[in-house]
Chain A
Amino acid sequence: MDRELATQLTYLAASVLFILGLRSLTRPDRARRGMQQAALGMLLAIVGTLVQQEIVRYEWIIGGLIAGSLLGYPLGMWVPMTAMPQRIAFSHMFGALAASLVGIAEFTTALGAGETIETTRMSALGIEVLFGSITVTGSFIAFGKLAEFIPGRPLTYKGQNLANGVLFATTIGMLIFVIAQPDARLAFFLLVGLSAAIGLFLVLPIGGADMPVVISLLNSYAGLAAAATGFAIGNTVLIIAGALDGASGFLLSIIMSRAMNRSFRNILFGAFGSKVNAGAKTAAGLTVQQVSVADAALRLAYARLAVVVPGYGMAVAQAQHQVKEVVELIERNGGEVRFAIHPVAGRMPGHMNVLLAEANIPYDSLVEMAEINPKFPEADVALVVGANDVVNPAAMNDPESPIYGMPIIEAYKARSVIVLKRSMNPGFAGIENELFYMPNTSMLFGDAKASLTRLAAEMKAL
């Protein structure tokens, strides 16, 4: 009894430390400490579990713990920050796999012992393997798309939504059947398989640019699977951690879809990017102005306020450090530099901030969209590096545009705009960008990294 009480106390401590850890993330200067405390909570919960009387054999446990640590260390220490989205997708897969396997083991063990699983417990087990399996396959596909071993473009076929609808209905039917007939082994495994199929068919049609929403949603599902595990085995800390995780993922996916001006439904069933919108304006008859490196360097060097608008293209070109160099040179001349961060600037929520922080850019100069937009009229230069759709004014003034209504970074309001771009290819959404043709905009063509290096060299020589 005392041992059981001790275990429960470690769980309580872990729950409190988890919540405090997440709370610490509201303050960048306290976050690190808070998360270390959360890690301590995890350690407590693990020790508390290991002393439980139910646990009689340790060889499997030790094997699993060693394997997990060996795999976890490189995933924690060696994965580059640019690969963060696929790495997170990969761990969602692992978390959900753990939850699903526990569910399957609980179910088969209970059946093997001849127990009748009560309705509530069976519901929890059913929901556990449902969300668990969806997340395993869904995250795998998301991982594959982000790591680019599965084509990032949306894979669609005719009658897709109908097929998905039927699959979804069958799975829900199977869930209900399993709950009503808790001894139906085959049906239970069918439920696992059907759920896995949902994950597959749900994520395959979704394009690369929509991945921030997908990862967030899968984060939420992984949390729900963990919470359901908690219900099934009567473990409160699992319920709490799962609920926290579920809430976080849900919130992030709402924030992400809002930032793209799309509904959940639209992302999950719309397969954005599969069609190039014919209604969008074309560039016919418009010309762009080019700027020489020397001129651009001069403008940047004498800017009092410069706003850098980084996009995914900057991350692809790995140009963060070159950006930092240019920023330092502007600051050396007495100018002020701010970064305008669009919520979907990377491939996952907050990704751009991490990439810039890695390049040693202090976080006080990373400014959210809503705060930076009113400052553009005062900005002498807006430097757009690898961003396209998020600075396209068509989102505000062209109802025909597929991105109409999406909140954008209002770089076009700056006194002058310099766009670093490889060529005149349209952005991911396949839409012409009006910004490039505006009178206050000039283009600096070439690889972002090379252009920035040349800019820095030119500025140094001034």
Chain B
Amino acid sequence: MYPLAAMTEMLQVYVFVLAGFVGYQVITRVPPLLHTPLMSATNAISGISLVGSLVVAGSDHGLAASILGAIAVGCAMTNVVGGFLITDRMLKMFRRAEPKGE
């Protein structure tokens, strides 16, 4: 039987592979029309590394780690705020033709 720690790691690999598969399936269906918003969206979503940065910045493992953590929080937060805002700004511009009143 596998030790528990190794099992957890194996599960993480499962998560990675399956998430990658889901991502591939979903993203193939995104039309080229929205490829730029897609890119800024994944950019915003990758700001999730914020959760890792928060732990580093807040766990009090010494000044160096706190500073690195704070910079990481700043960088990730920039992407979260900027990424979601710009994606929304772009998506707002995409509109369908108004039906002609003839």
Contact = CB atoms under 8 A, between A and B. Distances in A.
A342 to B, nearest CB: 10
A315 to B, nearest CB: 12
The dominant DSSP class at the A interface is: helix
A36 to B, nearest CB: 7
A79 interface: yes
B36 A349 contact: yes
A46 B81 CA distance: 12
Interface in B57-102: 57-62, 64-98
Interface in A360-409: 360, 362-366, 368
Interface string B16-39: 110111111011111111111111
Contact of B49 (A67, A77, A98, A364): A98
A335 B87 CA distance: 33
Contacts of B62: 109, 112
Nearest to A118: B5
Nearest to B50: A46
**Which 9 A-B pairs rank lowest in CB-CB distance, beginning with the nearest?**
A68-B77, A76-B85, A64-B73, A72-B81, A350-B35, A247-B23, A75-B82, A55-B58, A72-B82
A113 B88 CA distance: 44
B52 to A, nearest CB: 5
Nearest to B91: A32
With a 10 A CB-CB cut-off, give which of A42, A60, A235, A350 has the most chain B CB atoms.
Answer: A60
A409 B16 CA distance: 38
Contact of A239 (B12, B46, B65, B94): B12
Interface in A91-150: 91-92, 94-95, 97-99, 101-102, 104-106, 108-109, 112-113, 120
Contacts of A227: 16
A354 B71 CA distance: 32
A97 B72 CA distance: 7
Given A61-B73, A105-B69, A354-B90, A244 B95 contact: no
Contacts of A75: 78, 81-82, 85-86
Nearest to A346: B36
A431 interface: no
Interface residues of A, number: 116
A252 B38 contact: yes
B71 A252 contact: no
8 contacts: A15-B19, A31-B91, A60-B58, A64-B53, A91-B82, A113-B61, A238-B52, A343-B32
B23 A357 contact: no
A234 B48 CA distance: 14
Given A42-B45, A64-B57, A215-B39, 20 more contacts: A25-B30, A35-B91, A36-B88, A46-B80, A55-B58, A63-B74, A64-B77, A65-B73, A68-B79, A71-B81, A73-B85, A87-B86, A91-B40, A95-B46, A95-B47, A99-B49, A101-B72, A242-B16, A244-B45, A252-B35
A245 interface: yes
A358 B15 CA distance: 38
The dominant DSSP class at the B interface is: helix
B20 A243 contact: yes
A281 to B, nearest CB: 31
A77 B45 contact: no
A397 to B, nearest CB: 26
Contacts of A237: 48, 51
A438 interface: no
A363 B54 contact: no
Contact of A101 (B16, B36, B51, B68): B68
Nearest to A228: B16
A2 interface: no
B73 A357 contact: no
Interface string A225-260: 111011101111111111111111101100100000
Interface stretch (A16-24, A305-313, A452-460): A16-24
Interface stretch (A157-165, A216-224, A292-300, A411-419): A216-224
B72 A22 contact: no
Contacts of B17: 243
B8 A234 contact: yes
A247 B24 contact: yes
A248 B52 contact: no
Contacts of B60: 56-57
Contact of A351 (B36, B49, B71): B36
A236 B48 CA distance: 11
B36 A38 contact: no
Given A88-B39, A354-B90, A363-B94, A112 B61 contact: yes
Nearest to B14: A239
A291 interface: no
B32 A22 contact: no
A71 B41 contact: no
A423 interface: no
A49 B54 contact: yes
A29 B29 CA distance: 15
Contacts of A14: 48
A238 B26 contact: no
A323 interface: no
